Structure 1
Amino acid sequence: MKKVFFKTFGCRTNQFDTQVMISRLKEFELTTDENSSDIIVVNSCTVTNGADSSVRNYISSMKRKNPNAKVILAGCGSHSKGESLFEDKKVFGVMGHSEKEKINEILKKETRFYEIGDLEHIDSTIVEEFVGKSRAFIKIQEGCDFSCSYCIIPSVRGKARSHKEETILEQIQRLAANGFGEFILTGTNVGSYGQDHGTSMAKLLKKMSMIRGVRRIRIGSLEPIQIDDEFMELLNEPWMAKHLHIALQHTSDKMLELMNRRNRFEEDIRLFNKIASLGYALGTDFIVGHPGEGEKEWKEAIERVKELPLTHIHAFSYSKRDNTVSATMKPEIRGNIAKERHRELTELVKAKNYAFRRAHTDNLEVLLENGKEGIFYGFDQYFNKVEVRSEEDLGSNWVLLNRVEVQPDGNSAKI
């Protein structure tokens, strides 16, 4: 039986997609050793140039380390870079998103193939297990209808489309029966769930919470305009993780307009302050160095970040993507300037996170991942990582911590 290794790059949606492929393997052996595998499936990310480079570098390294393995490109990169990698014979095959449920048949192919499929497919697979995970990722939708100037994702994931509610709920029921208690909702644009089915994220959450075994629900990145009154009414529910990631991308209204974003700072800060008043930690995405971000715009942006009750940030320097509006914009920002702005921003939010953790040191509910040598790691309800030392095997267990040691780089406790 041939051995298959899966290498996953990028977001939680990709992690879920890998689990879909794993669940569909019938005539192959799953392995965790890439160097001895017969087939390597690369579930790729293409959100930035850096992501593309990481995928290419990995493929090149495996061609050297395991030259006899067949390398198959899957994921978003198959739509943006698959054709060139296939033509250059860097990969044995290329498969698009719509083909992943056919993985068992695809891996049987003895000749090179390029099967990109379409961008309208929606999965029907019920994933009942997450290999090597304590938390379960649940993909509830696919694609995005936004047209942000800098983003390539709609062209590689397609238009927004929701998974069927009954499929989502059945999947959660099965996973909960298999011992999973924390569920993370993911997708390309999670907050758009239900818009094509006459329902909403809030209605789905209510039904999820009623499933026996569901202890905590986290939600992937939301857009500010997707947080309505119906959703706000759920924020005091005990099963809601006390952390929301709300994508702002910038705090200068000029930059938001250039990015073709639908949010503006005045509304954003009102929303953030309201949610923070309910005891929530708040994260966001932020792009630094986008064309047009002059010194005036940056100074305004960083002062506004200081006003926001932020605790987490996913900041990255602008990366030009072909076939996007931003790629044609001027003036471009030099890399060294973007790097310094990235450092300033992340250090600012790191300090905010430290202050938040110092104010929240008790009643921390942590789901621990598998550990070794008596050291375990997990995340509390505020999405802060905690190191727990114990002589007991606490892997995949929930612990309630009433006292943690708070350091600038993280929390720790001993049980």
Structure 2
Amino acid sequence: TADLRLESGWDDLRLNCTESRARAFLKVQDGCDRFCAYCVIPFVRGRPVSRSLDDVESEARRLVEGGCRELILTGVNLGLYGSDISSSLGELVRRLGRIEGLSRLRFGSIEPFAVNEELLRALAETPKFCPHLHIPLQSGDDGVLARMERGYTSADFAKMAERVRAILGEDVHLSTDLLVGFPGEDEAAFGRSLKLLSSLGFGRLHVFPYSPRPETKAWGIAKKVGRKVAHERVREAIALGETLLDRYASRWLGREVEVLVEGRTGEVSFGYTRHYLRAEARGNSATHPEVRVKALKVQDGGLSGIVMGDFPDEEERSYGSAATCQTGQR
């Protein structure tokens, strides 16, 4: 078999804000050398490579000057940022958190191995970081996790989630991925996944059926799960995910949330809260990009409410700590 583990250089692209001018995705890392049993990414994207701190900060400032209020840091495996340049993701977060005019900073997705004490402290001490982390679980069964070569057990993941809440606060939104139908996943293993998802208090859940990929270790694993069974499990997991998201959203009822407005239709403003819940609200918000909304109803996994007023600009607001505020198969 040919060695497809490519040496990768940085694909130097420049981004602009989304059409709403509210937020932009900022890619800071590429490549992966973790080699999960089901994943082709290390073969096709090459080894980890990070953008320099100066380069990322320069583009971040350009985006903010162009009107972006929120930046979402992304990468093929974001947690590997800095491993090749003697830096760290925590250092990058602290640096970007000092940019004037930036209201929010968040991650697209981060693997469990990277959620360590140093990173969590950096997030907690960076008020602009939004208290939402998308951390892929993939399975809640230890046997399946071992065959996936994920590098952790269900107990390890639960302990990590507990530590996240201890540092970032009980209201932090944890979302995750579930990979269903991996070879050897029987009904008991699938049931353990659903049980762990419920017990850890996740909000948003992304569910994916396993798809065999040549060149991966999982390609040769026996005990395949039938397509019909896998699809039934996907539907069951999606239904659980909807329940979990509604349950998480319900904790905000009657409370004021900060919404970054991405659009308006008549008197209705819509966007996302700091904890990454979709929100819409009625009321006069003029044209201010951030508004205070009182959440009155859970609607389709998001919040519906009324505008209470504009949220102060950076020079007028007093940030609290981040602790008291916030992928499927490759």
- TM-score calculated relative to the size of structure 1: 0.67
Distance (Å, rounded) in 1 between the aligned partners of 2:299 and 2:184: 37
Render the CA deviation track for 1:213-261: whole Å, top value 9, x for unaligned: 1211111211111111111213434211111011121111100111111
Residues of 2 paired with 1:393 and 1:288: CA distance? 45
What is residue 181 of structure 1 aligned with on the other side? 69
Cα distance in 2 for residues equivalent to 1:224 and 1:409: 25
Alpha carbons of 1:347 and 1:129: their partners in 2 closer, same or farther (altered >3 Å)? Answer: closer
Residue 120 of structure 1 is matched in structure 2 by 8
Q: Distance in 2 between matches of 1:354 and 1:227?
A: 26
Q: How far apart are residue 180 of structure 1 and its match?
A: 1.1
Equivalent in 9, 24, 43 of residue 155 of structure 1: 43
2:196 corresponds in structure 1 to: 304
**Aligned 1:10-409 pairs, distance under 5 A:** 120-127=8-15, 129-131=17-19, 133-236=21-124, 237-277=126-166, 278=169, 279-361=171-253, 362-390=255-283, 394=287, 397-407=289-299, 409=301
> The residue matched to 2:106 in structure 1 has which SS?
strand
Q: Higher Cα Rg: structure 1 or 2?
A: 1
Question: SS at the partner of 1:213?
Answer: coil
The match for 1:6 is: none
- Unaligned runs of at least 5 residues, structure 2: 308-330
Query: Relative contact order, CA 8 A, sep 6+: which one is greater?
Result: 2
1:224/1:409 CA distance change after superposition, 3 Å: closer
Letter in 2 for 1:344: E
Give percent identity, aligned residues only.
30
The offset of 1:341, in angstroms, is: 1.4
User: Secondary structure of the equivalent of 2:61?
Assistant: helix
Compared CA separation, residues 130 and 351, structure 1 to 2 (3 A): closer
Q: Secondary structure at the match of 2:239?
A: helix
Report the secondary structure of 2:223's partner residue. coil
Give, in angstroms, the shift of residue 374 of structure 1.
Answer: 4.5
SS at match of 2:263: coil
Instruction: Report the RMSD for the aligned CA atoms in angstroms.
Output: 2.1
In the aligned structure 1, how far is the partner of 2:14 from the partner of 2:229?
Answer: 46
Cα deviations by residue, 1:15-43 (Å, 9 ceiling, x for unpaired): xxxxxxxxxxxxxxxxxxxxxxxxxxxxx
Q: 2:198 aligns to what SS in structure 1?
A: helix
- Going from structure 1 to structure 2, the CA distance change for 1:121 and 1:393 (only over 3 Å counts) comes to farther
Which range is displaced more, 353-362 or 310-319? Answer: 353-362
SS at match of 1:140: strand
Count of aligned positions: 298
Residues 1:210 and 1:155: Cα distance change in structure 2 (over 3 Å): same
Unmatched segments (≥5 aa) in structure 1: 1-79, 81-117
What is the alpha-carbon distance in structure 2 between the residues aligned to residue 377 and residue 322 of structure 1? 43
Q: Which amino acid aligns with 1:159?
A: R
Deviates more, 1:279-288 or 1:229-238: 229-238
Other structure's SS at 1:238 match? coil
Amino acid at match of 1:383: Y
Would the aligned equivalents of 1:123 and 1:163 in 2 still touch at CA under 8 Å?
A: no
Secondary structure of the 1:369 match is strand
In 2, the alpha carbon distance for the partners of 1:157 and 1:140 equals: 14
| Secondary structure of residue in 2 paired with 1:148 | coil
User: In 2, distance between residues paired with 1:402 and 1:302?
Assistant: 32
Report the Cα offset of residue 133 of structure 1: 4.5
